[in-house]
């Protein structure tokens, strides 16, 4: 019955559905069109602004040659390593501090200061200590991600409703049981939004660090291209950087949130930036 | 009777291990300095205990010395002014251009839908990624830096303004319209205050991104600014200048963030806290 | 000092709680003496801020007495324990556990065997009218349903004493009547000792074997009224409202509570009063 009732109701919506579906493509199409028209009229130097198709061609070339993949793997490897360390340390220390009010009061001023200089600011100092190896990148990403995850975890832990914890205590739950079954879950929305913005900041920090000094990675690829006035490679690289950032958010974080926070009917808080 | 009892009452314990006589580092106004004192002590201990070379780590007083040198010669003011100018221009530009744009985008659901992915994509391509291209277009100049920082800041501002406008319940505007309010009035009384918290989140987040992008860009473009100061000092192995510069970068950021942006933000959140999401 | 007699579940001896505030110590309660025999359903009514919740929290073990002591089965209460279950006014069930897993939580903690958990949960789900909602998450339920889950969770853990702090205050009036009837029969069937706090005199008399009236802040127990149970196996509102004896008790309690409220007005109570709640 319901299936039959549904069918006629669906048809008139179709046309609108298609419009709704293609809407996100419109600004991209407009941008490409504007770019092409500008290029056709001004005819700028290839090294300054190549036409769209050259960028597409270059993108295809570096993809086919495997060059791009190598850079992507290098960048993502650093990101995964740095972010993992950042999440683990941020969550663990966040719990430690969040559960202890005096510890929180003591560390807070330090956290404010060091999160203000987190990430790329450390580069000049740390290059001297770690050289230009993978340790440098992992440090810089860790340094960026840690503070975001840490601050959000502390906030999340502190904001878990006391009555939820007391309720489980009266069921006979030990303090550890309560932390694992109540506090950890209750703080989840905050931890997730910390991770989410941590990933965003970390990705930026990585590209910046790779620009300054690396032998591989997307940042290095585009910076290297600038020396040879290869704007096509730079643009192709920027497209890849943007796509990867979108994909990470859509394929990892959004589904993760959907399976946890949304399912439990919790609200995702605004991320605590910087 | 009650008072006598109360004085014997077991007080809620006020733990304060840092109380010395009547004076307390923790409860006092400058309590926030204590963790830094501890940190500097650890730093100094490491320096002495491992007998580290000045090219690896300098002693805390050396940093103060370097800062004084930079300050007294006017170098610091010069570099800091360059950075602050860039970030100020970017903030003003983002507020003046990004907010109206965000409103325009957010007011129509079709425009919002079409631009959502576009803006997310460009938020993903961080400003600093455009640096190589900007260098090709504008050379190693202040313009390059300004373009990067403005780009970095304006995208999150547009995006968050849009989100803020979209998040306002339709009933708010509708109920005002039934009272006969004009379109302008609805914008002024509903959309602007309703979206303000989100706009400020965007500005703050953008400033976090922008300040870092600025430092990174300055490191590469080398046309003045605090990023140039610390990266340049590295070439000569002047660790004291690097750490001094880092402190200045952190303190300036905190001043702008905590003393200007955050008070406004928390004020709006307190008054319109319901819309926080 | 009442000696602990066999059969006294909860004994409160000369209890008082005083907490520190910015304006000095505040007496959350007066001196309270109270004995609850095993299996009795005791309700406590009193003006807001008189210290009802403080007393309940102390029995639960959330706060320590400033004076006196609290015994459960003759042993001093030192903290929360599974012998004293609590149903809170706010929703204390966990949003990330389904109805079934929320109710099973106490038994899981006690490491009860699987079959026992399943059997108990099934029985309570039936008793509380939650059949068909076992695998829903709390946010998918109505307020009344959620509170049923909270009650079932506490009962499933099988504590000797159940403490309830205005559990139905946030539920709509119609649902509340049903919940009260269900609670009356549930507590009769399981023969639990219940300590129940409420604002509502009707509710207090309807549910109780004994109604206690607390004076205004700092509250002491000023009256204790026995309520004879006419019908074994619970009560229903219809016969309760038509029962003249019951209505006489309601009148009596109401008068006692009202005295406290008028006295409260005359004294123009200090602002801090509400904080003591």
Neighbours of chain B (3+ CB pairs under 8 A): A, C
Confidence (pLDDT) at A274: 34
How many Cα atoms occupy the beta-carbon half-sphere of B238 within 13 Å? Answer: 18
How many other CB atoms are there within 10 angstroms of residue C252's CB atom? 16
Confidence (pLDDT) at C232: 63
Confidence (pLDDT) at A150: 93
Above 70 in pLDDT, residue C196? yes
For residues C81-105, average pLDDT: 89
> Is the Cβ pair A128, B204 closer than 8 Å?
no
Give tens-digit pLDDT for A95-136.
Answer: 999 998 888 888 888 888 898 888 889 999 998 888 888 899
Residue B6 exposed, middle or buried by CB count within 10 Å (0-12, 13-18, 19+): middle
Dihedrals φ, ψ of C43, to 5°? Answer: -110, 150
Above 50 in pLDDT, residue B197? yes
How many Cα atoms occupy the beta-carbon half-sphere of A17 within 13 Å? Answer: 5
Q: What is the chain A residue with the closest CA to B203?
A: A273
| B223/B28 Cα distance (integer angstroms) | 43
In the predicted model, what is the mean pLDDT of chain C? 84
Dihedrals φ, ψ of C223, to 5°? Answer: -155, 150
The more confident residue out of A117 and C234 is A117
Most confident region among A223-227, B261-265, C117-121 by mean pLDDT: C117-121
Above 50 in pLDDT, residue A153? yes
Q: What is the chain B residue with the closest CA to C17?
A: B9
Q: Which of B106, B162, B114 is nearest to A30 (CA)?
A: B114
Q: Which of B2, B11, B12 sits opposite C27 (nearest CB)?
A: B2
Say if CB A203 and CB A78 are below 8 A apart: no
Q: Which of B2, B5, B11 sits opposite C20 (nearest CB)?
A: B11
Above 50 in pLDDT, residue B33? yes
Contacts of C180 (CB under 8 A, 6+ apart): C168, C203, C206, C207, C237
Residue A212 exposed, middle or buried by CB count within 10 Å (0-12, 13-18, 19+): buried
Q: Which of B39, B55, B125 sits opposite A238 (nearest CB)?
A: B125
Confidence (pLDDT) at B222: 85
DSSP H or E segment with residue C27: strand C24-27
Band (C5; pLDDT cuts 50, 70, 90)? very low
For residues C88-93, average pLDDT: 84
- Counting other chains too, the contacts that A97-101 makes at CB distance below 8 Å and 24 or more residues apart are A97/A150, A97/A154, A98/A153, A98/A154, A98/A155, A98/A156, A98/A157, A98/A158, A98/A187, A99/A157, A99/A179, A99/A183
Longest dimension (CA), chain A: 77
Contacts of C201 (CB under 8 A, 6+ apart): C45, C250, C253, C254, C257
In the predicted model, what is the mean pLDDT of chain A? 86
Confidence (pLDDT) at B151: 92
How many other CB atoms are there within 10 angstroms of residue A101's CB atom? 11
Above 50 in pLDDT, residue C275? no
Confidence (pLDDT) at A269: 61
Band (B9; pLDDT cuts 50, 70, 90)? very low
| A81/A63 Cα distance (integer angstroms) | 24
Confidence (pLDDT) at C192: 87
Neighbours of chain A (3+ CB pairs under 8 A): B, C
Confidence (pLDDT) at A115: 85
Worst-scoring range by mean pLDDT, A26-30, A254-258, B12-16? B12-16
| B220/B238 Cα distance (integer angstroms) | 18
Confidence (pLDDT) at C274: 37
Confidence (pLDDT) at C235: 76
Give tens-digit pLDDT for A234-253.
Answer: 999 999 999 999 898 888 88
For residues B159-164, average pLDDT: 88
A-B contacts (CB, under 8 Å)? 181
How many other CB atoms are there within 10 angstroms of residue C225's CB atom? 16
Cα dihedral B225→B227→B230→B234 (10° resolution): -120
> Is the Cβ pair B249, A129 closer than 8 Å?
no
Contacts of B75 (CB under 8 A, 6+ apart): B69, B229
Residues of C in contact with A171 (CB under 8 A): 82, 85, 105-106, 109, 153-154, 157
Band (C24; pLDDT cuts 50, 70, 90)? confident
What are the C-alpha distances in Å from A251 to residues A71, A111, A243, A255, B116?
21, 31, 12, 6, 17
Most confident region among B5-14, B17-26, C155-164 by mean pLDDT: C155-164
Contacts of B37 (CB under 8 A, 6+ apart): none
Taking the CA of residue C14 and the nearest CA in chain B, the distance in Å comes to 13
Tokens of B226: 């605090």
For residues B206-232, average pLDDT: 89
Question: How much of chain A, in percent, has pLDDT values that exceed 70?
Answer: 92
Which bin fits C61, alpha (ψ -120 to 50), beta or left (φ > 0)?
left
Band (B247; pLDDT cuts 50, 70, 90)? very high
Put simply, whether A168 touches C (Cβ < 8 Å) is yes
| C26/C175 Cα distance (integer angstroms) | 37
How many other CB atoms are there within 10 angstroms of residue C200's CB atom? 16
Put simply, whether A244 touches B (Cβ < 8 Å) is yes
Confidence (pLDDT) at B263: 76
Above 90 in pLDDT, residue A38? yes
Above 90 in pLDDT, residue A69? yes
Residues 141-180 of A with CB under 8 A from B: none
Above 70 in pLDDT, residue C2? no
Q: What is the chain C residue with the closest CA to B14?
A: C20
Taking the CA of residue A48 and the nearest CA in chain B, the distance in Å comes to 6
Give tens-digit pLDDT for C210-233.
Answer: 999 998 878 888 889 998 876 666
Tokens of A169: 């205590």
- Specify the pTM: 0.81
Residues of B in contact with A229 (CB under 8 A): 136
What are the C-alpha distances in Å from B199 to residues B89, B123, C79?
17, 16, 46
Angle between helices A67-98 and A52-64 (to 10 degrees): 80
End-to-end, the C-alpha distance of chain B in Å comes to 50
Taking the CA of residue B4 and the nearest CA in chain A, the distance in Å comes to 31
Give tens-digit pLDDT for C98-138.
Answer: 999 999 999 998 888 999 999 999 999 988 889 999 999 99
Beta bridge partners of B136: none
What are the C-alpha distances in Å from C201 to residues A183, A203, B208, C43, C246?
37, 61, 57, 9, 12
> Is the Cβ pair C25, B10 closer than 8 Å?
no
For residues A173-180, average pLDDT: 90
Question: How much of chain B, in percent, has pLDDT values that exceed 90?
Answer: 30
C84-87/C24-27 β-pairing: unpaired
The more confident residue out of A248 and A257 is A248
Confidence (pLDDT) at A271: 42
For residues B12-36, average pLDDT: 57
Say if CB C61 and CB B43 are below 8 A apart: no
The more confident residue out of C67 and B31 is C67
Band (A9; pLDDT cuts 50, 70, 90)? very low
Question: Please, what are the domains in chain A?
Answer: 78-267 (1.10.3720.10)
């Amino acid at each position: 019955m319901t299936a039959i009732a549904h069918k006629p109701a669906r048809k008139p919506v179709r046309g609108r559905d298609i419009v709704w579906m293609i809407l996100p493509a419109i600004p991209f199409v407009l941008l490409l069109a504007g770019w092409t028209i500008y290029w056709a009229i001004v005819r700028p130097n290839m090294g300054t602004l190549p036409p769209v198709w050259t960028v597409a061609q270059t993108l295809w070339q570096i993809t086919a040659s495997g060059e791009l993949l190598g850079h992507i793997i290098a960048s993502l490897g650093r990101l995964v390593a740095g972010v993992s360390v950042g999440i683990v340390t941020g969550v663990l220390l966040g719990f430690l501090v969040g559960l202890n009010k005096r510890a929180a009061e003591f560390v807070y001023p330090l956290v404010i200061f060091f999160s203000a200089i987190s990430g790329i600011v450390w580069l000049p100092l740390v290059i001297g200590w770690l050289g230009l190896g993978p340790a440098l990148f992992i440090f810089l990403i860790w340094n960026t991600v840690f503070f975001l995850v840490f601050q959000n975890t502390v906030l999340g832990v502190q904001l878990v409703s006391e009555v939820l914890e007391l309720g489980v205590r009266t069921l006979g739950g030990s303090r550890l049981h309560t932390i694992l079954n109540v506090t950890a879950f209750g703080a989840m929305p905050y931890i997730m939004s910390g991770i989410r913005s941590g990933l965003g900041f970390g990705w930026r920090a990585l590209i910046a660090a790779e620009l300054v000094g690396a032998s591989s990675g997307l940042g290095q690829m585009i910076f290297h291209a600038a020396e040879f006035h290869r704007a096509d490679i730079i643009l192709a690289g920027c497209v890849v950087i943007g796509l990867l950032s979108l994909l990470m958010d859509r394929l990892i974080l959004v589904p993760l949130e959907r399976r946890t926070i949304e399912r439990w009917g919790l609200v995702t808080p605004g991320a605590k930036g910087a | 009777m009650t008072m006598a009892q109360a004085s014997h009452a077991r007080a809620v314990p006020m733990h304060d291990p840092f109380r010395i006589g009547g004076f307390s580092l923790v409860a006092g106004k400058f309590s926030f300095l204590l963790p830094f004192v501890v940190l500097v002590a650890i730093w100094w201990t490491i320096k002495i205990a491992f007998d580290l070379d000045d090219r690896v780590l300098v002693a805390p007083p050396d940093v103060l010395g370097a800062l004084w040198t930079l300050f007294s010669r006017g170098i610091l003011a010069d570099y800091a002014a360059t950075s602050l100018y860039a970030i100020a221009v970017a903030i003003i530009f983002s507020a003046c251009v990004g907010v109206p744009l965000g409103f325009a985008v957010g007011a129509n659901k079709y425009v919002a839908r079409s631009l959502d992915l576009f803006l997310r994509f460009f938020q993903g391509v961080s400003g600093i990624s455009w640096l190589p291209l900007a260098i090709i277009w504008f050379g190693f100049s202040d313009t390059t830096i300004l373009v990067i920082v403005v780009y970095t800041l304006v995208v999150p501002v547009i995006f968050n303004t849009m989100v803020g406008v979209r998040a306002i319940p339709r009933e708010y505007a509708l109920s005002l319209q039934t009272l006969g309010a004009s379109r302008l009035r609805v914008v002024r009384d509903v959309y602007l205050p309703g979206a303000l918290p989100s706009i400020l989140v965007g500005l703050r987040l953008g400033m976090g991104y922008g300040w870092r992008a600025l430092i990174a860009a300055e490191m590469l473009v080398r046309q003045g600014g605090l990023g140039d100061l610390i990266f340049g000092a590295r070439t000569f192995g002047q660790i004291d200048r690097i750490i001094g510069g880092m402190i200045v970068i952190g303190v300036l950021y905190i001043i702008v963030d905590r003393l200007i942006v955050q008070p406004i933000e928390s004020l709006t959140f307190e008054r319109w806290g319901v819309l926080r999401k | 000092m009442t000696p602990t007699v066999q059969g006294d579940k909860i004994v409160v001896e000369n209890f008082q709680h005083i907490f520190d505030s910015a304006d000095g110590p505040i007496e959350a309660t007066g001196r309270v003496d109270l004995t609850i025999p095993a299996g009795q359903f005791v309700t406590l009514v009193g003006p807001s801020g008189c210290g009802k919740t403080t007393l309940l929290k102390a029995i639960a073990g959330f706060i320590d007495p400033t004076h006196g002591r609290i015994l459960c089965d003759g042993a001093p209460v030192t903290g929360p324990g599974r012998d004293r279950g609590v149903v809170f006014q706010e929703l204390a069930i966990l949003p990330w556990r389904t109805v079934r897993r929320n109710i099973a939580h106490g038994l899981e903690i006690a490491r009860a065997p699987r079959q026992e958990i399943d059997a108990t949960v099934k029985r309570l789900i039936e008793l509380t009218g939650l059949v068909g909602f076992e695998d829903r998450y709390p946010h998918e339920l109505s307020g009344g349903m959620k509170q049923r889950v909270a009650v079932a969770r506490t009962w499933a853990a099988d504590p000797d004493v159940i403490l309830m702090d205005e559990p139905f205050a946030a539920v709509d009036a119609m649902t509340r009547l049903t919940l009260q009837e269900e609670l009356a029969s549930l507590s009769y069937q399981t023969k639990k000792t219940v300590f129940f706090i409420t604002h509502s005199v009707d509710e207090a008399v309807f549910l109780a074997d004994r109604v206690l009236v607390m004076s205004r802040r700092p509250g002491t127990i000023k009256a204790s009224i026995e309520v004879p149970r006419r019908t074994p196996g619970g009560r229903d509102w219809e016969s309760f409202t038509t029962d003249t004896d019951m209505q006489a008790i309601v009148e009596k309690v109401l008068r006692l509570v009202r005295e406290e409220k008028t006295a409260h007005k005359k004294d123009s109570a200090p602002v801090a009063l509400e904080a003591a709640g």
